[in-house]
Structure 1
């Protein structure tokens, strides 16, 4: 709301102070923020870590089986 109302940059900066720490160090992503780069656009769904690792392992196994002719 402040940003759209034309609040001065100093007020916006003061509001954001410490919010990165809240998310990254304290794990409070509701009141903090996490920086994300261009790779964020590749996210299509939210998954548990175990599911992500299982998918990575399965994909690696599949690709390695198909790559034996390259050696």
Structure 2
């Protein structure tokens, strides 16, 4: 959730270069919280394009819920 908070106000598309950020994006995409173009399974994370296209409505709702919860 920290990574989602960090990117919520970024301008999209957002290119990722850091392996930890790419891993975070993979988790968020699997949860349906972002839409992204990420390396397929078996491809090294730092090879190819890793781009977040947007935070989904579900992602925005999760952020709003987290803010209300404190």
TM superposition score normalised by structure 1: 0.25
Compare relative contact order (CA 8 Å, sep 6+) and give the higher one, 1 or 2: 2
More strand by share: 2
